Amino acid sequence: SSHPSSASSSSSSPCLVAASRRCVSALANSPLLSVSEEVRAALAAGRPVVALESTIVSHGMPYPENVRTALEVEAILRAHPAAPVVPATVAIIDGKIQVGLSQEQLERLGQAGHKAVKTSRRDFGQVLASKSAIGATTVSGTMIAAHMAGIPLFVTGGIGGVHRGVLETYDVSADLTELGRTPVAVVCAGAKSILDIPRTLEYLETEGVPTITLGHNSPDFPAFFTPSSGIPAMTHVETEQACAEIIHAHLRAGLTSGLVVGVPIPTAFSSQSSFIQSAIDQALGEVSARGITGKETTPFLLARVNELTKGVSLTANIALVKNNAAKGAGIATELAKLRN
Ligand code: PSU
Ligand code: MN
């Protein structure tokens, strides 16, 4: 049916994750989905859970900072002052979509680095069929798994977007079409200026994806290493509660698109942004010069910018991911209250 299911009909209609906490996604029975015991118990009890991606671990940061950061982000969620939030890191391991990783699995993923398969929607079949491959899920891939498991909120660093030079390359991240088709809220620090941010926001608008800036004294969508992109988001809220209310209403209405919550980088870590920007410009030039295309483009840019800034961009990247986790824990907590 194309009509949103109301709470009262949720017992008889195919159940949307958003309808109520007891109502588990119809996809939750997939034989290829493996949800950890801790995550399963938290979801069943209506306690807050936050999904986390794994491409940021394998392709977004070097080893061993990647594993350390992943564990620290999980620890920030668990130590959330109001009440613990359960982390659910997503990856494809041993031919299963794993939601909630052990420390050992995180270590395998971090060590695999670029040998892991960067996994967006199109890559699932290939990675699942090859039982030995490790699939590191992107924002797109992680949203799919989170939705399958019934997790409405997901925290990461930055989303993919419309690439600069799109009119030549047609390079638009699968994250954007995923946001248009999968009802999960993604908390991030905006989009990196490796991307065309104005066109990314236009694309999200076309896909029916609300963009919400949180805790900003301006309506601007953040731009990863800088607090403001100069382009307004759909709306701007000051509190995690107000943010959760919009997410809750959007999901409860049965809309099938996701949402983006942009959390500006803390100002203490944004001072080096013009130095980082010059590294980004150089790395972008190298992408064209070397003829890098397709799924290789973003990992190349991320690694090259880390290299060129000798760790300055990595420090900012780690700081903003942790800040997003702290904010995401607050939003997840408010969202759980609204859903219970
Ligand atoms: N941007 C970042 N860090 C990242 C990514 C993007 O600042 O780690 C990763 C995310 O996993 C995102 C993916 O989903 O890159 C997008 O890749 P592509 O541009 O090829 O769609
Ligand atoms: Mn691409």
Q: Which atom of ligand 1 is nearest to the CA of 140?
A: 14
Per-residue pLDDT reduced to its tens digit, 208-241 = 999 999 996 789 999 999 999 999 999 999 999 9
The pLDDT of residue 217: 78
Handedness of CA 227, 260, 157, 50 (dihedral sign): positive
Distance CA 176, CA 173 (A): 6
**ipTM > 0.90 (yes/no):** yes
Q: Residue ranges of the chain with pLDDT lower than 50?
A: 1-23
Q: Is 135 in the pocket of ligand 1 (CB under 6 A)?
A: no
For residue 294, the ligand closest to its alpha carbon is 2
The pLDDT of residue 184: 98
pTM score of the predicted model: 0.93
Q: Which atom of ligand 1 is nearest to the CA of 174?
A: 21
Cα of 337 to ligand 1 centre, how many Å?
31
Distance CA 74, CA 51 (A): 10
Q: Which atom of ligand 1 is nearest to the CA of 317?
A: 7
Tokens 């409860």, residue located: 252
Distance CA 20, CA 38 (A): 20
The pLDDT of residue 203: 98
Q: Is 157 in the pocket of ligand 1 (CB under 6 A)?
A: yes
Catalytic residues: 53, 192
Per-residue pLDDT reduced to its tens digit, 235-285 = 999 999 999 999 999 999 999 999 999 999 999 999 999 999 999 999 999
- Residues whose beta carbons lie less than 5 angstroms from ion ligand 2: 171
The pLDDT of residue 29: 81
The pLDDT of residue 25: 63
